[in-house]
Amino acid sequence: MLQGQHLPLWAKPALEALKKISLVGPEELSCLGSAGPPRIKRAVDKGQLHPSVAMERAPCLELYLDQCATQDGLVPALSPLFSPFVPYDVYTPNPSNPEMTLESHLEEIKETSDDFSSVDLIFLPDELTQENRNHTVIKSQHETEENSRTQNHQNKLPLLSKQDVELGFQGSSLSNPQAHLCPGPADSALPSPENPSPHTLPLSIAPMTPVAPASECSGIVPQLQNIVSTVNLACKLDLKKIALHAKNAEYNPKRFAAVIMRIREPRTTALIFSSGKMVCTGAKSEEQSRLAARKYARVVQKLGFPARFLDFKIQNMVGSCDVRFSIRLEGLVLTHQQFSSYEPELFPGLIYRMVKPRIVLLIFVSGKVVLTGAKERSEIYEAFENIYPILKSFKKG
Amino acid sequence: MPGAGRCPDCGSAELVEDSHYSQSQLVCSDCGCVVTEGVLTTTFSEESNLREITYSRSTGENEQVSRSQQRGLRRVRDLCRVLQLPATFEETAITYYQQAYRHPGIRTARLQKKEVLVGCCVLITCRQHNWPLTMGTICTLLYADLDVFSGTYMQIVKLLGLDVPSLCLADLVKTYCGSFRLFQASPSVPAKYVEDKDKMLSRTLQLVELASETWLVTGRHPLPVITAAAFLAWQSLQPAGRLTCSLARFCKMANVTLPYPAASRLQELVAVLLRMAEQLAWLQVLKLDKRSVVKHIGDLLQHRHMLVRMAFQDGSAGMETQEKEQQRQRQRQRKEEVGGSTSGSLPGKRPASPALLLPPCMLKPPKRSCPTPPISTVTGDENISDSEIEQYLRTPQEVRDFQRAQAASQAAVSVPNPP
């Protein structure tokens, strides 16, 4: 099918990779002639341009590729072709610097032309794509880790945005991409992939972890300290009876109109109201909060009430972490006045109200940061990744 | 047609508002019957065509100035006069109070909160004009609790969406030091304690700048730092007679309340000065301590920028050297235990590396290390064993005992003490 046709330069590594996974035979590869963008090729054919010089005209290649892209609307598809490392360019509504991407990718091709096994298989029929998806995923993971350590990915900086992190959590069926980015202290607090995304990726691209260059990644993962959740037991409760029959309950109607119950594992406290609503606090993770709420419901059940477990919802999550350098709060309040509130007469920390995501951060001079107001774990991580570069800019007093 | 009335004559609903010689009337457009007229009195039949709504739903509430609002506005004016603020401040504060009063949360708040709101409006006005007024001063004047004040202040700033600049430290130093009663001899202030205002002010300012540069001000209440700086400045201007005077006595003499943290700020400031003194050759030989360093504060302040740079290393680089230091110390300790102290390879005393320029809270060793919790593999859907739940329930016997105990304690409480 490819006989007599000259393929553009960018297709060659793709075909080499395909050959590796034995989808493309050697005869198809041989048809690759002196590949190059049509203009350069024509110039070379006419003898106006020496072939070696033609290779240096890399910028022309981008223009050619842009042309191709506009012609067949495959701009997103091109980027994964070059790099297994930035798949989420696909989702950015505004691929801001496609030329820069391609340029950097081109450099990479020259360096690591062997590593393109995790290639965009969009050209192939679906069944083949499906088989090789796992294949490529595993390979790409290894490569990501290797390459993030050996290579310099600074060119990829402008392309990654906050959206990437979000998408990383929604679209990826792998565990936290950040774990791959910054091995080390992150390992201890990896979030478990609890909710496999119900919707698959729009394009049939192997899910790959995005790499943020070392300068952008903070390497610190906030630890969850407290989860507040509510659940509806859906039956009227007799608080006096609960307080009488349960050892771990306290009830003082004059002080507060609810029973305060505690369990040891997971170490939590619950407020149980006579309407049947319950608030569970003190858990360190969402799953622990849910387990604890179920245990309280079971206690209430055993006391003879027809308790159910409806509308379990996490209402608030609190996390904390340490950036390990001191922060000039006076400077921060000057530059970010619309978000910050710093009143040393009242409170030693700076209160930063982030708009997106809607999280309140307490920032202290010692570098400790407390994040609160989240409904999802990802909001805390996102908020911290947003604040870290801001704090770093205030590092030097 | 508002009022949904009907003409009593023909029953039509077509009522039109018309005016007859500037008196507005409600007239039926079919038969011309005047349904209501006049503003002063209304007949019973006219009133059925009027629409009556409750006061809270009418706009009367917003248009009138209620008595408590009037009282609040008067309090704002009084407070501005007591603080001797310029006239423009008064107008701004009044505006803020009126704006705040429009919000239902403020209108229905308790009197205590409205009282504190007066102070908040004045404070915001002063901050915006860089007039150094502390919250403590306002709370003292209003006899208010700082907790209530802080809650109301944060709420009102958020509610009105105001940009409140930070307290201006330099101006605060000037006004606060100006309030010290040390500039004239009096029965309580002996002659040797009297000081020139300008000299003391300038030196206090320099000390406060030094404190702010060395992380002693960030996150802390500004007033104790200024008190400590003023005390050091005053002492250093004539150390001979004043070294024996304590901070408490100084504040009493100056007729200023001593803030509690001022003593610890003083220690921190003196420690910084001592570190700086170690870098000056002619002071190194003197082996200064926290008292004698006061005599040389003048010299230290003169070269403070250079000395701070020399005496302290950058915090970030410092963290690594601090860790290396600790490692070296541990290794040295181990060597000592194993090889005895007579080995000549051990260095006697290593020269002190530059101290870290970090806030004091980062320099102190952590009280307790917080280990990262082990990764829990809880899924939230595990089975809950009955025995686990049973442990939280009382046995019937325990329930009976508990009830008996409760009844007994209640009886003991309800019986009055025998006369």
Are both B134 and B88 inside the same structural domain? yes
As a whole-number percent, the residues of chain A with pLDDT over 90 amount to 43
- Chain B CB within 8 Å of residue A324 CB: yes
Contacts of B17 (CB under 8 A, 6+ apart): B24, B25, B26, B27
pLDDT value, residue B48: 62
- Would residue B418 count as lying in a domain? no
Range of the structural domain that residue B78 is part of: 67-167
**Chain B residues with CB inside 8 Å of A265's CB?**
388
Are both B175 and B303 inside the same structural domain? yes
Sole residue written with tokens 């040797």: B192
Greatest Cα pair distance, chain A, in angstroms, is 99
What digits encode the pLDDT tens for the residues A371-391? Answer: 999 999 999 999 999 999 999
pLDDT of residue A368 exceeding 90: yes
Give the confidence band of B363 by pLDDT, cuts at 50, 70, 90.
confident
Contacts of A97 (CB under 8 A, 6+ apart): A158, A159
CB contact under 8 A, B316 and A248: no
Rounded to the nearest angstrom, the minimum Cα separation between B396 and chain A is: 8
Are both B198 and B275 inside the same structural domain? yes
Instruction: Give the type of residue at A305.
Output: F
Total number of domains in chain A:
2
**A361 phi and psi, to 5 degrees?**
-115, 135
pLDDT value, residue B323: 60
Interatomic CA distance for residues B77 and B91, integer angstroms: 9
Range of the structural domain that residue A389 is part of: 323-396
Whether residue A15 contacts residue A24, with contact meaning beta carbons closer than 8 Å, is answered with: yes
Contacts of A130 (CB under 8 A, 6+ apart): none
Interatomic CA distance for residues B41 and B36, integer angstroms: 10
pLDDT of residue B186 exceeding 60: yes
Domain end call among A314, A347, A379: A314
CB contact under 8 A, B403 and A244: yes
**What spatial distance separates the first Cα and last Cα of chain B, rounded to whole Å?**
76
- Would residue B60 count as lying in a domain? no
CATH number at residue A340: 3.30.310.10
Interatomic CA distance for residues B350 and B344, integer angstroms: 14
- Would residue B410 count as lying in a domain? no
What digits encode the pLDDT tens for the residues A33-53? Answer: 444 455 555 655 666 655 555
Whether residue A75 contacts residue A106, with contact meaning beta carbons closer than 8 Å, is answered with: no
As a whole-number percent, the residues of chain A with pLDDT over 70 amount to 45
Task: Please calculate the CA angle B366-B369-B371 and round it to the nearest 5 degrees.
Answer: 155
- Would residue A279 count as lying in a domain? yes
Average pLDDT over residues B362-384: 79
Are both B153 and B250 inside the same structural domain? no
Are both A263 and A239 inside the same structural domain? yes
Are both A297 and A333 inside the same structural domain? no
Who among B154, B222, B392 is closest to A344 (CB)?
B222
Q: Which residue of A has its CA nearest to B161?
A: A338
Are both A233 and A285 inside the same structural domain? yes
Average pLDDT over residues A115-134: 51
Rounded to the nearest angstrom, the minimum Cα separation between B1 and chain A is: 45
- Would residue B96 count as lying in a domain? yes
Instruction: Give the type of residue at A179.
Output: A
Are both B186 and B74 inside the same structural domain? no
Who among A299, A329, A344 is closest to B392 (CB)?
A299
Are both B83 and B124 inside the same structural domain? yes
Who among A245, A337, A395 is closest to B163 (CB)?
A337
CB contact under 8 A, B376 and A288: yes
The ipTM is 0.77
Who among A246, A286, A333 is closest to B394 (CB)?
A246
What digits encode the pLDDT tens for the residues B217-246? Answer: 999 999 999 999 999 999 999 998 899 999
What digits encode the pLDDT tens for the residues B67-88? Answer: 899 999 999 999 999 999 999 9
pLDDT of residue A336 exceeding 80: yes
Average pLDDT over residues A280-295: 95
Domain end call among B267, B289, B308: B308
Domain end call among B257, B273, B308: B308
Average pLDDT over residues B254-274: 93
Average pLDDT over residues A7-32: 56
CATH number at residue B119: 1.10.472.10
Q: Best interface-test mutation with A: which of B160, B209, B218, B410 has the largest number of A CBs within 10 A?
A: B218
Are both A310 and A327 inside the same structural domain? no
Angstrom distances, CA of residue A326 to CA of A80, A122, B217, B308, B315: 40, 49, 13, 17, 7
Are both A310 and A333 inside the same structural domain? no
Total number of domains in chain B:
3
What digits encode the pLDDT tens for the residues B124-176? Answer: 999 999 999 999 999 999 999 999 999 999 999 999 999 899 999 999 999 99
Who among A188, A290, A395 is closest to B380 (CB)?
A290
| Chain A (210-249) residues lying within 8 Å, Cβ to Cβ, of chain B | 223, 244-248
- Would residue B52 count as lying in a domain? no
Interatomic CA distance for residues A209 and A175, integer angstroms: 9
Are both B198 and B160 inside the same structural domain? no
Are both A235 and A280 inside the same structural domain? yes
Angstrom distances, CA of residue B253 to CA of A27, B178, B180, B249: 100, 14, 9, 6
- Would residue B415 count as lying in a domain? no
Where is pLDDT greater, at B341 or B409? Answer: B409
Are both B141 and B119 inside the same structural domain? yes
Domain end call among A314, A341, A366: A314
**Chain A residues with CB inside 8 Å of B376's CB?**
284-285, 287-288
Q: Best interface-test mutation with B: which of A365, A391, A394, A396 has the largest number of B CBs within 10 A?
A: A365
Are both A346 and A273 inside the same structural domain? no
Give the confidence band of A332 by pLDDT, cuts at 50, 70, 90.
very high
- Chain B CB within 8 Å of residue A21 CB: no
Nearest to A84 by CA among A116, A108, A123, A107: A116
CB contact under 8 A, B392 and A263: yes
pLDDT value, residue A351: 96
Are both B202 and B214 inside the same structural domain? yes
- Would residue B397 count as lying in a domain? no
Domain end call among B308, B342, B370: B308
Whether residue A210 contacts residue A186, with contact meaning beta carbons closer than 8 Å, is answered with: no
What digits encode the pLDDT tens for the residues A175-198? Answer: 444 444 444 343 444 444 444 444
DSSP state for residue B128 in the 8-state scheme: H
Lowest mean pLDDT among A219-233, B323-337, B358-372: B323-337
Whether residue B28 contacts residue B15, with contact meaning beta carbons closer than 8 Å, is answered with: yes
CB contact under 8 A, A345 and B218: no
pLDDT of residue A124 exceeding 60: no
- Would residue A25 count as lying in a domain? no
Interatomic CA distance for residues B140 and B257, integer angstroms: 12
Nearest to B273 by CA among B175, B195, B192, B203: B203
Are both B78 and B157 inside the same structural domain? yes
- Would residue B342 count as lying in a domain? no
